[in-house]
Amino acid sequence: MSVSLKEIEEQVRRLPAEDRAKLIEILLESLHSPDSDIEAEWTREIEERVAAFDRGEDPSYAAEDVFAEARRLSR
């Protein structure tokens, strides 16, 4: 038995807003299947950056300092 898009739409419109929002997330995720090579590269990059930070090789800045500098530069 095939359900038409119109029937699905009518059923979805009867769902509570929270359920409709969750359905939107599920549908959007289904359209974007990440490339495994890209995901692997991002994972490697993140791991390297965290390790460098843990070793004290990368500087860190307090968020308030970053925002203050951004405000200064935007004037």
pLDDT tens, per residue, the chain with 75 residues: 688 999 999 999 999 999 999 999 999 988 877 778 888 999 999 999 999 999 999 888 999 999 999 999 999
Q: How far apart are CA 49 and CA 55, in angstroms?
A: 10
Q: How far apart are CA 41 and CA 55, in angstroms?
A: 21
Q: How far apart are CA 39 and CA 45, in angstroms?
A: 10
